[in-house]
Amino acid sequence: MLTIKDLKASVDGKEILKGLNLEVKAGEVHAIMGPNGSGKSTLASVLAGRSEYEVNGGTVTFEGQDLLDMKPEDRARAGVFLAFQYPVEIPGVSNANFLKTAVNEVRKSRGQEILDSKDFLVMMKERMKLVEMDKAMTQRSVNEGFSGGEKKRNEIFQMAMLEPKLSILDETDSGLDIDALRIVSNGVNALRDGKRAFIVITHYQRLLDYIVPDFVHVLYKGRIVKSGTKKLALELEEKGYDWIKEEAEALNA
Amino acid sequence: MNSTTINTINANSLLQDFDLFTDLYGKQTNYFQEIRKFSADKFNVLGIPTQKNEEWKYLNLSPLFKNDFRSVSHTQAFEIDAASAKQFHLCGENAIVFVIENGRLNRAASNVKTLPKGLSIGTLAELADDARVQKHFAQHADAITEPFVALNTAMSFDAMIVLLDEKIKINETIQFAFVTNTNQENISVPIRVLVIAEKHSECTVVESYHTLNEQHKVFVNAVSEVVVGEEARVHYAKIQIESENTFHINYHQVNQAKNSYQHITSLSLGASLLRNNLHIQLDGENCTTYLNGLYVLSGTQVMDNHTLVDHAMPNCYSNELYKGMIDDKSQGIFNGKIFVRKDAQKTNAYQSNKNILLSNDASINTKPQLEIFADDVKCSHGATTGQIDEEALFYLRSRGIAEPEARALLNHAFAAAVINQVESELLKESLLLLLSRKLRVMEEV
Ligand SMILES: Nc1ncnc2c1ncn2[C@@H]1O[C@H](COP(=O)(O)OP(=O)(O)OP(=O)(O)O)[C@@H](O)[C@H]1O
Ligand SMILES: [Mg+2]
């Protein structure tokens, strides 16, 4: 589904991704861990098409298409979704209105029927239940005045509405209480159908108890320096990153 | 010659039709004729301000008054009828709508059933004998130092008067649709309003400004005086959607007595050159006043908002929010004054001006001016000018919304925040529609 080859990217002239390789197949869940500042959000931003990030080399292919050549909106329509680490507040744009526009844009591009207000409401109610979201929240402006946890929940709600093929969750678990963590995970698991794929960026192996990954990768200094199974996450939890860093530095030397 | 005014010959020409109407006001003709003469003399002395005048610094009127404006005809037959007037209705079916075509009341086009008890609306000629009219007409807007108030007072004829008796609450919105409809070039149209809301009364008044025959250059000069009695509540809106050939200067003067409430929304979308002057005089204790404005400019439009809230008495609250969206080569100006006089202790006065520049050639001059002479006050003001929020734009796009639509959503949200404060739902809907229409046109260009 997604093939990243030797991806190099920089921001403000500073190289952050330094030759990153990753292959995600349909139905798989990949967890990406790694120390602060290693480039995890940068990878997510590059995949979503944020223009501040300059791609200096490598390729990203999504379902046969050159992803890097597509506008952010076209990536979304093709089925890529990013749950932001820091979702922005957009005063004056109602959550419901915004989502209706987004859902219908995505549906249009997939050749699906456009939802009228009634059908949209039905779908919204059903998905709201999934993430136990309050009705009042959908009527408010996008993320405006939402607590940290509410913002994250809203990201998963949007994911549930847009039904993407590939979802990238950037630290969706940070700032969530135990209940919210379960709710958010349920939202993700409900979408798992053997075809959809997920890239889950997290610092905590706890999330991976709920969303069980097929692979765990460690991103360090702009490269994936180690990959393994769920066991790797447990090992990291126990031992920290020092041994990985040492291994990586040794290899580089 | 006074260097802060333009050559008085041009100013004179605006008064050349002064004698066309000298017998409009029946028994009171002499009284009002005196006021007119006095104002004409004042205007002759004041002349048209130049940019050397601090209050007119950013607005160049000299090209405008190179034109030799003649007074609009007082005898031209009306063209608007009740059916065609529907296009000007902004406040739903129950509204009381007066159509003023070229500065004259067109009764046939108006939508006025019998007025509720305690409410009189008519022209100055019709209501000239009412003592309240004589007490307040031309007594509040400043014809002594403001040239265009003086000009208007000298040249306006069908002033529209609203008299609201004590304790009367009117649910229906009162709308004055001022329509310029001329097939001549360089016509000046004076417009005048006086609203008197007595003690404990409440009403909603909307002034809307339209153009029917869009290709002709017109100069609309409007003055409104609004007297808000003790405990009275007045909701007001001024909607400016005139043609690109319109030059529009208006003064809106509000005088509030103690414990009164006033809320005004000013929506400026039209005209090539527009100057809004809004002056709120808080002459009693415990007044509450809201001033909300939205100006959306494109092409080469120039819009200048000058506001003044004068806290003359203690314990009053004022809150001002003006927002601007400025595109293409257009030019926005905001000047917001707040005076807090020596006696006006415990004043709360807030002001905010926010602008978005949508093009590199667009400009805004914004100047908040606080003059505070009391010591126990809470005042704040802030002005921001920026571009569209790129983070928000990316967020919307990352959800599948194409860039132009995402921009439109954000622009609309920015501007709608002002309109959303309008209390009447019907009016709010109409205004949102007018805003969307203008934004859509702007996107297409
Ligand atoms: N806009 C920017 N300008 C300058 N430097 C940036 C910018 N964005 C990211 N960086 C830098 O790039 C590096 C990688 O940042 P990134 O956000 O991708 O890290 P991360 O792995 O997501 O970290 P965390 O775990 O803390 O979220 C950091 O050193 C960061 O400071
Ligand atoms: Mg990050």
Residues spanned by the domain of A90: 2-252
Nearest CA to ligand 1 atom 1: A11
Q: What is the DSSP string of B271-326?
A: -SEEEEEEEEEE-STT-EEEEEEEEEE-TT-EEEEEEEEEE-SSS-EEEEEEEEEE
Instruction: List chain A residues with CB under 8 Å of B414.
Output: 92
Tell me the shortest Cα–Cα distance from A43 to chain B, in angstroms: 15
Average pLDDT over residues B331-340: 97
Average pLDDT over residues B269-284: 97
State the pLDDT at residue A131: 85
Nearest CA to ligand 1 atom 26: A36
Nearest residue to A223 via CA among A73, A57, A17, A4: A17
Run of H or E including B74: none
Residue B57 makes CB contacts below 8 A (sequence gap 6+) with B51
The CATH number of whichever domain residue A181 belongs to comes to 3.40.50.300
Whether B1 shows a pLDDT value over 50: the answer reads: no
**CA–CA separation, A207 vs B406, rounded Å?**
33
E-assigned strand segments in B47-90: 48-49, 70-71
Tell me the shortest Cα–Cα distance from A159 to chain B, in angstroms: 9
Tokens of B1: 């010659």
Average pLDDT over residues B274-298: 98
**Pairing state of beta strands A53-62 and A2-11?**
antiparallel
Q: What digits encode the pLDDT tens for the residues A24-52?
A: 999 999 999 999 999 999 999 999 999 99
CB of B332 closer than 8 Å to CB of B324: yes
CB of B372 closer than 8 Å to CB of B337: no
Exposed, middle or buried: residue A132 (CB in 10 Å: 0-12, 13-18, 19+)? middle
**CA–CA separation, B236 vs B259, rounded Å?**
17
**Looking up tokens 């305690």, which residue turns up?**
B118
Instruction: List chain A residues with CB under 8 Å of B405.
Output: 101, 105
Looking at the complex, does the CB of residue B394 fall below 8 Å from at least one CB of chain A?
yes
R_g (Cα) of chain A, nearest Å:
18
Looking at the complex, does the CB of residue B386 fall below 8 Å from at least one CB of chain A?
no
**One-letter-per-residue 3-state SS of B162-214:** EEECCCCECCCCEEEEEEECCCCCCEEEEEEEEEEECCCCEEEEEEEEEECCC
Whether B7 shows a pLDDT value over 60: the answer reads: no
Q: Residue B283: phi, psi to the nearest 5?
A: -100, 5
Contact A92 B399 (CB under 8 A): no
**CA–CA separation, B287 vs B431, rounded Å?**
27
Looking at the complex, does the CB of residue B389 fall below 8 Å from at least one CB of chain A?
yes
Looking at the complex, does the CB of residue B404 fall below 8 Å from at least one CB of chain A?
no
How remote is the C-alpha of A56 from its chain's centroid? 22
- A71, A76, A141 member nearest B399 (Cβ): A76
Q: What digits encode the pLDDT tens for the residues B48-65?
A: 999 999 999 999 998 888
Strand order in the sheet with B104-111: B104-111, B96-101, B174-180, B202-211, B233-240, B261-268, B288-297, B317-326, B347-357, B377-386
Whether B9 shows a pLDDT value over 50: the answer reads: no
**CA–CA separation, A192 vs A187, rounded Å?**
9
User: Which residues are placed with Cβ below 5 angstroms of ligand 2, an ion?
Assistant: A 40-41, 85
CB of B327 closer than 8 Å to CB of B358: yes
Tokens of B283: 């002459």
Contact B399 A91 (CB under 8 A): no
Run of H or E including B72: none
> Is the distance from the beta carbon of residue A51 to the nearest atom of ligand 1 less than 6 Å?
no
Question: In ligand 1, which atom is closest to the CA atom of A222?
Answer: 14
Kindly indicate the confidence band of residue A167, based on its pLDDT and cuts at 50, 70 and 90.
Answer: very high
Q: Over chain A, what is the mean pLDDT?
A: 92
Whether B297 shows a pLDDT value over 80: the answer reads: yes
Of A14, A199, A223, best ligand 1 pocket probe by most atoms within 8 Å of the beta carbon: A14
Question: In ligand 1, which atom is closest to the CA atom of A219?
Answer: 21
Tell me the shortest Cα–Cα distance from B403 to chain A, in angstroms: 8
**One-letter-per-residue 3-state SS of B144-166:** CCCHHHHHHHHHCCCCEEEEECC
Nearest CA to ligand 1 atom 28: A37
Residue B312 makes CB contacts below 8 A (sequence gap 6+) with B281, B282, B283, B339, B341, B343, B344
**Pairing state of beta strands B363-372 and A90-94?**
unpaired
Best mutation site among A45, A67, A73, A98 for testing chain B: the one with the most B CBs within 10 Å?
Answer: A73
Tokens of B72: 């609009």
Residue A241 CA: distances (Å) to CA of A224, A232, A234, B118, B165: 13, 11, 12, 81, 80
CB of B265 closer than 8 Å to CB of B237: yes
Cβ neighbour number for residue B171 with a 10 Å cutoff: 10
**CA–CA separation, A213 vs A227, rounded Å?**
12
Per-domain boundaries in chain B: 3-284, 391-445
ipTM over 0.90: yes
**CA–CA separation, B108 vs B384, rounded Å?**
47
**CA–CA separation, A20 vs A11, rounded Å?**
16
Instruction: List chain B residues with CB under 8 Å of A84.
Output: 395
Contact B413 A87 (CB under 8 A): no
Average pLDDT over residues B104-118: 94
**CA–CA separation, A226 vs A32, rounded Å?**
10
CB of B100 closer than 8 Å to CB of B158: yes
Whether B8 shows a pLDDT value over 80: the answer reads: no
Q: Residue A67: phi, psi to the nearest 5?
A: -65, -35
Whether B10 shows a pLDDT value over 80: the answer reads: no
Report the residue of chain B nearest A44, measured CA to CA. Answer: B398
Of A11, A45, A174, best ligand 1 pocket probe by most atoms within 8 Å of the beta carbon: A11
Tokens of B383: 């002005």
Report the residue of chain B nearest A74, measured CA to CA. Answer: B400
3-state secondary structure (DSSP) of residue B224:
strand
Q: What digits encode the pLDDT tens for the residues B161-201?
A: 999 999 999 999 999 999 999 988 999 999 999 999 999 99
Tokens of B109: 């086009």
Tell me the shortest Cα–Cα distance from A130 to chain B, in angstroms: 20
Q: What digits encode the pLDDT tens for the residues B344-387?
A: 999 999 999 999 999 999 999 999 999 999 999 999 999 999 98
Kindly indicate the confidence band of residue A138, based on its pLDDT and cuts at 50, 70 and 90.
Answer: confident
Residue B110 makes CB contacts below 8 A (sequence gap 6+) with B82, B85, B97, B98, B99
3-state secondary structure (DSSP) of residue B355:
strand
How many Cβ contacts (< 8 angstroms) between chains A and B?
74
Buried b vs exposed e over A26-50: b needs ≥16 C-beta within 10 Å?
eebbbbbbbbeebbbbbbbbbbbbb
State the pLDDT at residue B362: 96
Q: Kindly give the interhelix angle for B29-46 and B147-155, rounded to the nearest 10 degrees.
A: 150
Question: In ligand 1, which atom is closest to the CA atom of A53?
Answer: 1
User: What's the total number of domains in chain A?
Assistant: 1
Q: What digits encode the pLDDT tens for the residues A60-90?
A: 999 999 999 999 999 999 999 999 999 999 9
**Ligand in nearest proximity to the CA of A38:** 1
Q: Residue A57: phi, psi to the nearest 5?
A: 180, 165
Q: Residue A238: phi, psi to the nearest 5?
A: -80, -45
> Is the distance from the beta carbon of residue A13 to the nearest atom of ligand 1 less than 6 Å?
no
